[in-house]
Amino acid sequence: MEKTNRYEFDGEVLEVPLRWDEFSQQYVEDYSGVIESPIYLPSGRPVLLTIEDACPDADMADDDPSSIDCGSCRHYHQFPGSLLGVCLRSKEKTKQKDREKEEKEL
């Protein structure tokens, strides 16, 4: 049976596979799947590495111009003990677009 770390956020579950690391002699999270192709929670929220390049919608927590990654963004929720986290911005944008669409339809 494959070893995984399990994270829960906002009622959604993410399981991250583990791999044996010879150097540290312990199991570590295997991010190869995330690097090869993006992964998403069932709600559509993207799961990103903290070192992912920031997108144009970034809102940096420290207002430091040298902040360049998702890990510095207010919209990023990092799982404790992991280099992975969820971008909450995309969900907010989706909700905002849905609201704008509903308003146009009225």
> Phi-psi region for residue 97, left (φ > 0), alpha (ψ -120 to 50) or beta?
alpha
How many residues touch ligand SF4 (CB under 6 A)?
Answer: 11
Rounded least distance, CB 43 to ligand SF4, Å: 14
* Angle subtended at Cα 37 by Cα 89 and Cα 14, rounded to the nearest 5 degrees: 60
Rounded least distance, CB 61 to ligand SF4, Å: 10
Q: Which CB atom, from 5 or from 91, has the smaller least distance to ligand SF4?
A: 91
Query: Which of residues 14, 75, 79, 84 is near ligand SF4 by CB under 6 A?
Result: 75
Query: Which of residues 16, 41, 58, 84 is near ligand SF4 by CB under 6 A?
Result: 58
Rounded least distance, CB 84 to ligand SF4, Å: 12
Please name the residues in contact with 50: beta carbons below 8 A apart, sequence gap of 6 or more. Answer: 69, 70, 71, 76, 78, 83, 84, 85
* Interface with ligand SF4 (CB under 6 A): 48, 54-55, 57-58, 70, 73, 75-76, 87, 89
